[in-house]
């Protein structure tokens, strides 16, 4: 099993101490689990990069807009937060949104979409599309997402390819959920964590898609056909090495590259799922945002 990086190990030790006795939010009633997720993610909003931020509506959805001092005036990014389709919010991802905005040199809009299990597929995806349709058309928009947010961001692009309508300029996808195969190499290796576990992911899937076809492309993007993947806009992908979902990104990157696409893909060694939330204290998270910004500015 891969070793944690020298920076990641003390972070996990700190989290174990801070979260001792709090319980597993996926085993709680959704309302209680969400309150716990909001509380534990608040620690990542320390030492925020200074920039203009304001609460707005994107269509009917509550949102946060972060505009960095290096705004290029031409681009913007719609950011879809992770949290297993069931937890987290624009507020929990305030730090990530600001760091993404600063790295890419453009505003980042993060919003609250309907959450499972009360609102299973396709409610969250419908809200992502509603936010996309309500965007400010004076800028060139890309889309980003982490974990379940990366699933929704990629699903939106695939849905719009099927509908033959406008697409984001670029997709930025961080340690995403792209399939529901719980027997991949990374699921087997990291079934018990550290961090995210296979049991938690199975519960997230049971909440998000309890019935219906999990092999439909807008649920499991790895099920998309080659023509749809070929039609995607330029992508950037990364993965956390110590993560049950790592194989999802490996498989997606391999398929894209087999189609002759040159989408950059980075597997970040020694870190766990969700590491980009930890930008206030984790060097690998800060380096990841810098890398995203570099690729973004070279591509758009």
> Could you give the count of Cα atoms lying within 13 Å of 183 in the half-sphere of its Cβ?
0
pLDDT computed for residue 36 by the predictor: 98
pLDDT in tens, the chain (300 residues): 679 999 999 999 999 999 999 999 999 999 999 999 999 999 999 899 999 999 999 999 999 999 999 999 999 999 999 999 999 999 999 999 999 999 999 999 999 999 999 999 999 999 999 999 999 999 999 999 999 999 999 999 999 999 999 999 999 999 999 999 999 999 999 999 999 999 999 999 999 999 878 999 999 999 999 999 999 999 999 999 999 999 999 999 999 999 999 999 999 999 999 999 999 999 999 999 999 999 999 999
DSSP string across 182-215: TTSHHHHHTTT-SSS-HHHHHHHHHHH-SSS-TT
What is the token pair recorded at 24? 């597993």
Pairing of strands 235-242, 171-174: parallel
pTM of the prediction? 0.98
Coil, strand or helix: which one is 1? coil
Residue recorded with tokens 């439909």: 216
Q: Is the bond into 194 cis (omega within 30 degrees of 0)?
A: yes
With CA atoms as reference, report the closest residue to 192 among 273, 119, 124, 87.
273
CA separation for the pair 199, 203 (Å, rounded): 6
């Amino acid at each position: 099993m891969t070793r944690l990086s020298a920076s990641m190990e003390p972070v996990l030790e700190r989290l174990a101490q801070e979260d001792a006795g709090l319980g597993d939010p996926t085993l709680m009633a959704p309302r209680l689990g969400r309150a716990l997720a909001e509380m534990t993610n608040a620690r990542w909003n320390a030492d925020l990069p200074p920039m203009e931020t304001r609460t707005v509506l994107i269509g009917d959805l509550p949102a946060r807009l972060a505009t960095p001092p290096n705004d290029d005036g031409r681009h913007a990014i719609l950011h879809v937060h992770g949290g297993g389709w069931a937890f987290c919010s624009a507020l929990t991802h305030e730090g990530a949104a600001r760091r993404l905005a600063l790295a890419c040199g453009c505003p980042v809009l993060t919003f609250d979409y309907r959450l499972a299990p009360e609102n299973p597929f396709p409610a969250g995806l419908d809200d992502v599309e509603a936010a996309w349709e309500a965007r400010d058309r004076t800028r060139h928009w890309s889309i980003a997402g982490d974990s379940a947010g990366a699933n929704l961001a990629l699903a939106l692009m695939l849905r719009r390819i099927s509908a033959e309508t406008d697409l984001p300029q670029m997709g930025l996808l961080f340690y995403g959920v792209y399939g529901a195969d719980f027997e991949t190499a990374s699921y087997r290796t990291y079934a018990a964590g550290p961090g995210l576990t296979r049991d938690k992911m199975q519960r997230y899937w049971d909440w998000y898609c309890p019935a219906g076809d999990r092999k439909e492309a807008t649920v499991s993007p790895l099920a998309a056909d080659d023509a749809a993947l070929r039609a995607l806009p330029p992508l950037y992908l990364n993965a956390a090495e110590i993560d049950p979902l790592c194989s999802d990104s490996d498989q997606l990157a391999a398929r894209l590259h087999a189609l002759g696409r040159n989408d950059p893909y980075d597997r970040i060694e020694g870190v766990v799922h969700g590491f980009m939330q930890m930008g206030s204290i984790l060097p690998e998270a800060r380096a990841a945002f810098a890398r995203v910004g570099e690729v973004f500015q070279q591509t758009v």
